[in-house]
Structure 1
Amino acid sequence: MMQCTQAQASAALAGAGVISLRDYQEGLVMEIRDSLKAGRRRVLAYLPTGGGKTRVATAITQMTLSKSKGRVVVLANRKQLVHQFAAALRAAGLDVGVLQGENTHGLHRRVIVASVDTVHARGCIFDDMALFIIDEAHACAGSEKYRTLLFRYSRVPCIGLSATPFARGLGKPYPELADRLLFEDLIVGATVQSLVDAGHLTDLEIYAPSSPDMTGAKTSRTAEGEQDYRQADIEEAADRPELVGDILRHWFKLAGGVKTICFASSIAHSQHIVEQFRAAGVSAEHLDCYMDDETRADILGRFERGDFTVLSNVSLLSEGFDVPDTSCMILARPTKSLTRFLQMVGRVLRPAPGKTRALLLDHSGSVERIGHPFDDLPLELDDGNANKAGSRKEERKKSEPKPCPSCKFVRPAGVHECPKCGFAPQRQSDVEVADGELVKIDRKARKPATPDVKQHVYSQLLHVARHRGYKPGWAANQYRARFGVWPRGLRDVEAAPSAELLGWLKSQAIRFAKAREKAQEGRQHG
């Protein structure tokens, strides 16, 4: 594909009377144009949250109208996104109509911003189409409404915009498209790290103080084709008084009263978090999808003005929320979905005057589970093959960031000394030990161990015994204390011990010491 130089791109955009764009935005616009000119009909454009997707779409709309007599239809899947997109296009001087429920007006205009739900419900037919633009286009793969529209207008050029183009099936062929792909090209405008380095996004500090126990939680497939925890299991694990209290304690310690958005596991959980903040004298509000438009607009407006400090919700604000001076995010909703994770984190990365960093307080375990938000992403269109999708997600997890055992600051992979507090754990086969509260391990609640799990535990015990110089038989005795049987038939191979096993050994040592102390007291008084 022939590419324009940056100077040629700038000249072309200026000649079309397009709004001013950053260099990477100009490059993205021209790459989209080149891809469509090469014969592709549906192109997906990636920019991170805060990278300016709406601005890119505005420039493309202006260029299309200047060179064609047809109309441009912008599609969105949420009412708030429809209103925001229409406002952005009008601010650029475009005459815009809206097709969204009772707010429908101006359908004779050359630019229409439409809700896909309204289009589907009314069976709308568009004429004189020059271009479709789809906001949050990762939703197309799992949405029959979007796919039906793309099938019907398969010959009309379509540009999808997304900060999370990982949905399963975005690059899948369909017979309704003459076996062509749902999206035929993925164009990368910039990466999160490159925008942070250029100052277009704010750098991020992450702390992971505590997280709910998701052991045994079941998963189900999301609309994007990813596996995520079932809502019922999330609510049960996360909405606990001790975890809510820990959120408050660490927010006071680390956030220092800055404007904060919180993602909770459920409406009840969100309300409990707000109650705790208010009881501590912090102004906080809860927002959910059951509130009417006027109430939601009032809460969002007051938060934007700074009338209160903490805004809590479940997932309502994961898309389309744009309050740049929000400096802290509390993630209290466990997730395994890369899409949901990045959408939530992206809410605090926009720069603002006086904002030198963004802060993520991860009370969900998601950073350890998924990886750092700035890690390289699987930026290729998924063809719907489950094995391929799984391998791409595993490839991304290579960074495995870990919280500092002392201050809970999340260090990048491979960093030994914490850059925040200077804590440098002694290296003993990559095992980190720090003083802290012990977590009781309930053996009765543990599921029956498989042979592989038993072998892995025994291998870890052998490793600990050798490195600590324990007598022969120590590993077998510890194994028996854990499983109630001797390690017969297991191989004498070593494995580096996990934090969970070391915690269990520490609890065993404390239990033994207390029992010995009690026995001594008994002999003294006997």
Structure 2
Amino acid sequence: MNAVLRPLWDEAPNYAAACFPPPRDFQQTAHQALREGFRAGHRCQLIMAPTGGGKTYLAHRIAHEALIKGRRVVFVCDRTTLIDQTSAAADAYGLKDHGIVQANHWRRNDLPYQIASAQTLAKRGYWPQADVVIIDEAHTQLKVWTEFIQYTTAACIGLSATPFSPGLGKLFSNLVNACTMHDLTEQGVLVPLRVLSCKRADMTGAATSGGEWTDAAAEQRGMEIVGDVVTEWLKHGETRKTIVFGSTIKHCQELARQFLDAGVMAAVFTSETTADERKLLLGEYSKPDSTLRVLISVEALAKGFDVPDVGCVVDCRPLRKSLSTAIQMWGRGLRSSPATGKTDCLLLDHSGNIVRFAEDYTDIFFNGLKELDQGEKLDKAIRREKDDYEAKGCPACGYKPFAKRCMSCGFEHQAPAMVEAIPGEMQPVMLGKKKLADDHRHLWEQVCSYARKGNRPAEKQYGRAWHLYQKMTGQEPPRTWRLESTPVVPVTAAVRNKITSLNMAYAKARRA
């Protein structure tokens, strides 16, 4: 590697001259917890800190501590768009002596501190020499680093606001929970989230895959309310710089078209947006007096995108399972911006996500995660809401959404559940030690899918599903659960086997 790279310095870098702003208490505590973790034998550790928790600042401090000891450090960015942002932060802290591992980058060199594009590392097939590896957005679990950290002897530190993806507990042996969203809101680092539940996409009976609504289904239902999205924004968010999240690129393009038709300067920012276009859009949008008021994206803006004066997030991307995606989307508007007088972030919820995730989001808001596997479980669970759901505000201050503990005033005395669930509905349905379904609603979806097979009339399909559900659970399905509004889902082997045994028992009884 040294043979093909030209050093861009005349003498050894003076990393001791770096100058950092004083750390906040929680940043100092997190750094100390990381040191103690290494002393305890944890070579790979993950730091969880919400949007606004200063993960990049903390990462550069960790790097600095290693560099002044003569170590080599690699900071891995999961997207090329974050390379220059991370490099600029290093410059600001006095760590100007660093290189960039990215194709054709002018800062390519062999300095002890390298900021690397994960995509470039994957294409080249080799890593710079490293004693410490810092991985941004570690929940993405890119193959290039998940394989590398398993055989390297370097100390490895993952950074994430939402470490919910499966398998993180196998890659990192220790979780450092730096702070919570509640802590940062109390300190004024984040602003409160003010929610308005607007007209929502009707996802009743929409197709699912793996428990999540398909992109095609979410796009189709979302297209039906695009006009309402623009109307509600003009009514409530027109004075605020805004990010809108759509279900697909096509959905985002239609949202942009209707915003433009309404005279609002809007643009689409997706995986199809070229590097030059992204640079122009972000350059304009980051200006305090930007003429570009609305940026629209599927997920390209959900992670690592930080424009503090964003005052409104419009959520048009309905989800059932991915709490981490919802938290990433909403977090884009939570950073404080004293310079612009920002006091809160307005969330216009056209997806129903704030309802479905309210209880778990509240828990994360106040407590963060206790262990890595907890996040994985949260992103696997299917959330549901009753057909006759009505939003309930905090009994003390009226804040919505409210689930167990108020994110505005902290009230939690005898807090009513935000969604009235059937007893046991969200518990797995078991047959002995075998799991039939994630919960009672999931079992109902499976027996309906089974009952639809064949040429039975609709009323007989419902009757068949009703009896199967009753036999398996010992109770009748709720009257609001209708076959025609229930999506088709795969029938698990355990449920198929149980239905077969019930059919055999029925046939035997008839013969007798």
TM-score by length of 2: 0.71
Q: Distance in 1 between matches of 2:446 and 2:59?
A: 55
Residue 350 (structure 1) aligned with residue 335 (structure 2): yes
- How has the CA–CA distance of structure 1 residues 108 and 207 changed in structure 2, closer, same or farther, with 3 Å as cutoff? same
Aligned partner of 1:280: which letter?
A
Unaligned 5+ segments in structure 1 are 1-13, 173-181, 221-226, 420-426, 432-447, 454-479, 505-526
Q: 1:412 aligns with which of 397, 402, 409?
A: 402
Answer whether contact 2:322 2:379 (CA < 8 A) is retained.
no
- Cα shift at 1:343: 1.1
Aligned residue runs from structure 1 range 227-376, under 5 A: 228-238=212-222, 240=223, 242-305=224-287, 306-335=290-319, 336-353=321-338, 354-371=341-358, 373-376=361-364
Unaligned 5+ segments in structure 2 are 1-15, 410-416, 422-442, 449-458, 486-512
- Answer with 365-374 or 35-44: which moved more: 365-374
The alignment partner of 2:305 has SS state of coil
Cα deviation, 1:207-263, whole Å, max 9, x if unaligned, reads: 22212315242224xxxxxx643323322332x2x3101111221232243111001
Q: Distance in 2 between matches of 1:403 and 1:81?
A: 41
Number of aligned residue pairs: 409
RMSD: 3.9
Q: Distance in 1 between matches of 2:445 and 2:255?
A: 38
Answer whether contact 2:314 2:349 (CA < 8 A) is retained.
yes
Q: Distance in 1 between matches of 2:300 and 2:378?
A: 30
Q: Distance in 2 between matches of 1:285 and 1:488?
A: 52
- How has the CA–CA distance of structure 1 residues 80 and 74 changed in structure 2, closer, same or farther, with 3 Å as cutoff? same
Cα deviation, 1:17-53, whole Å, max 9, x if unaligned, reads: 6542111111111111111122210010010011110
Q: Which runs of 4+ in 1 moved over 4 A?
A: 14-18, 391-398, 448-453, 480-485, 487-498
What is the match of residue 184 of structure 1?
173
Aligned partner of 1:83: which letter?
D
- How has the CA–CA distance of structure 1 residues 317 and 339 changed in structure 2, closer, same or farther, with 3 Å as cutoff? same
The alignment partner of 2:175 has SS state of strand
Answer whether contact 2:51 2:331 (CA < 8 A) is retained.
yes
Q: 2:128 aligns with which of 126, 129, 132?
A: 126
What is the match of residue 208 of structure 1?
197
Aligned partner of 1:146: which letter?
W
Cα deviation, 1:117-142, whole Å, max 9, x if unaligned, reads: 21121122433x221100001122xx
- Cα shift at 1:352: 0.7
- Cα shift at 1:161: 0.5
- Cα shift at 1:191: 0.6
- Cα shift at 1:146: 1.6
The alignment partner of 1:411 has SS state of coil
The alignment partner of 1:171 has SS state of helix
Answer whether contact 1:430 1:496 (CA < 8 A) is retained.
no
Identity %, equivalent residues: 33
- How has the CA–CA distance of structure 1 residues 150 and 234 changed in structure 2, closer, same or farther, with 3 Å as cutoff? same
Aligned residue runs from structure 1 range 101-116, under 5 A: 101-103=103-105, 105-116=107-118
The alignment partner of 2:233 has SS state of helix
What is the match of residue 61 of structure 2?
59
- Cα shift at 1:450: 7.2
- Cα shift at 1:378: 4.1
Aligned partner of 1:64: which letter?
A
Q: Distance in 2 between matches of 1:311 and 1:380?
A: 35
- How has the CA–CA distance of structure 1 residues 482 and 145 changed in structure 2, closer, same or farther, with 3 Å as cutoff? closer
- Cα shift at 1:166: 1.2
Q: Distance in 2 between matches of 1:18 and 1:64?
A: 15
- How has the CA–CA distance of structure 1 residues 493 and 111 changed in structure 2, closer, same or farther, with 3 Å as cutoff? closer
Q: Distance in 2 between matches of 1:243 and 1:31?
A: 48
What is the match of residue 9 of structure 2?
none
Q: Distance in 2 between matches of 1:342 and 1:162?
A: 12
Q: Distance in 2 between matches of 1:451 and 1:273?
A: 35
Q: Distance in 2 between matches of 1:228 and 1:207?
A: 24
Answer whether contact 2:80 2:119 (CA < 8 A) is retained.
no
- Cα shift at 1:379: 3.7
Aligned partner of 1:183: which letter?
F
Q: Distance in 2 between matches of 1:118 and 1:451?
A: 44
Aligned partner of 1:344: which letter?
M
Q: Distance in 2 between matches of 1:255 and 1:404?
A: 21
